[in-house]
Amino acid sequence: MASEILIDGRPATTDDLAHQALVNYGAYTSFRVEQGAVRGLDLHLARLEQAAVDLFGESSGEAELRRLMAQAVAGRDACWLRVSLFSPQIGHRAPSFVGRPKVMTVVSPPPPPLAVSVRVRAMAYEREAPHLKHVATLGLTRARRAARADGFDDALFTDAEGRILEGALWNIGFIRNERIVWPPGPMLAGVTQALIQRGLPGAGLASETRPVALSEIAAFDGAFLCNSATPVCAVTAIDDVAFAADPAMLGRLQRAWESQPPQVIAARDDDEGVSRLGR
């Protein structure tokens, strides 16, 4: 349950929330905040900047985003923050507004990880504007419902040629010996995926990005998913192909993520925003 919703730093009004409920146009990012700091904050800010320009033609700017985010989480040791961009001047009959979007911040308790392990069903589906973390989520929610109705935990998306793209709410990586393989394609570049990638050399692991066909997945030693709420989770089956979960390898991937230090939200003059939390 959200504990506080602010629009441009002020309590949300009924009109603000009615527009959000009726007009499905906008973008967001979300993450865990600990002591005012976030792992991958630079990547979340870049995501919001890109989405603002793509969807509205103008960005609020990093300084303003930091100010609103810091205001939203002030006084909290740990929380979950969702930062959304929208404009009440854009609607189904009036789509042409160009300008700075409003910023909605929603603070809630940190959610638990998605799971300890998952079995996923592959299905052909590409999100609209897949490079954006946008609010048009009908397709992915419908896909997750279909996967669960078939006895799986979640949905894994492929393109029309059977090449793996992304999960409904996460990215996927494949394991072969000491190498991580990331599938490319029309998809959302995940912040957690990027953090793991940054930390792989320190964990003694190599990586590559290359197409992965659904028909070749049995040749891998394992697979895992990752997102902001779930840094590493074993994928134990894709359709009828089973994978053994390797706790040692999953631990190395978790440490690769943990090796990336949290970054302080509030701008500071004495450094580039890297936290001294030592994690």
Q: Which two tokens stand for residue 6?
A: 């602010």
Looking at residue 268, its pLDDT comes to 55
Looking at residue 267, its pLDDT comes to 73
User: If one looks up domain 117-258 in CATH, what number appears?
Assistant: 3.20.10.10
Angstrom distances, CA of residue 53 to CA of 44, 85, 120 = 15, 11, 34
One digit per residue, the tens of pLDDT, for the chain of length 279 reads 557 999 999 999 999 899 999 999 999 999 999 999 999 999 999 999 999 999 999 999 999 999 999 999 999 999 999 999 999 999 999 999 999 999 999 999 999 999 999 999 999 999 999 999 999 999 999 999 999 999 999 999 999 999 999 999 999 999 999 999 999 999 999 999 999 999 999 999 999 999 999 999 999 999 999 999 999 999 999 999 999 999 999 999 999 999 999 999 997 544 443 332 222
Beta-carbon contacts of residue 148 (< 8 Å; ≥ 6 apart): 154
User: If one looks up domain 4-108 in CATH, what number appears?
Assistant: 3.30.470.10
CATH 3.30.470.10, the chain: domain bounds:
4-108
Please give the span between the terminal C-alpha atoms of the chain, in angstroms, as a whole number.
28
pTM: 0.92
CATH 3.20.10.10, the chain: domain bounds:
117-258
**Cα distance between residue 272 and residue 267, in whole Å:** 8
